[in-house]
């Protein structure tokens, strides 16, 4: 398979998963919207698309919006915080060893997965 075809397939898979689950920064945003704001799973996913994927996941966002499952005010504020956080977070992360970043990320994913599995 050539590089172009692989890139398109990866993009399609990312778009599909983004549209279904609101992934991307959603690994943090979706659980936060559920547990902090009390959003439903669908509303959290739709709002995550507002914050992170509006240009890329526009068609997925449109479907969530049609069903009333995307909060633009909350999503916009998350996008603003995400912009600032990404700037300062990247400065911090670039000074850490790669192995520490990988292990820290793995621990974070495990903790979020356990929390979402055991909570109602």
Rg (alpha carbons) of the chain, rounded to whole number? 16
Q: What's the CA dihedral at 75, 80, 84, 89 to 10 degrees?
A: 10
Output the tens digit of pLDDT for each of the chain's 120 residues.
Answer: 787 787 677 666 656 666 666 666 566 677 777 888 888 878 877 787 777 665 667 888 888 899 999 999 998 888 888 778 878 877 888 888 878 877 887 788 898 889 989 987
The whole-number pLDDT of residue 78 equals 82
For 25, 27, 80, 106, the CA distances from 10, given in Å and listed in that order, are 17, 19, 27, 22
The residue extents of the domains of the chain are 3-118
Distance between CA atoms of residues 81 and 84, nearest Å = 5
The token pair at 47 is: 């709002």
Secondary structure E strands in 1-120: none
The whole-number pLDDT of residue 66 equals 94
The whole-number pLDDT of residue 22 equals 60
């Amino acid at each position: 398979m050539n590089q172009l075809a692989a890139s398109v397939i990866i993009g399609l898979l990312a778009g599909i998963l983004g549209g279904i689950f609101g992934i991307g920064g959603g690994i943090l945003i979706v659980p936060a919207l559920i547990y902090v704001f009390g959003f439903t799973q669908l509303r959290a996913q739709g709002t995550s698309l507002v914050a992170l994927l509006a240009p890329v996941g526009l068609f997925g966002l449109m479907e969530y919006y049609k069903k009333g499952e995307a909060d633009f005010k909350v999503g916009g504020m998350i996008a603003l915080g995400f912009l600032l956080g990404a700037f300062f977070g990247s400065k911090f992360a670039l000074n850490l060893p790669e192995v520490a970043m990988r292990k820290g990320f793995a621990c974070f994913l495990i903790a979020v997965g356990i929390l979402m599995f055991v909570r109602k």
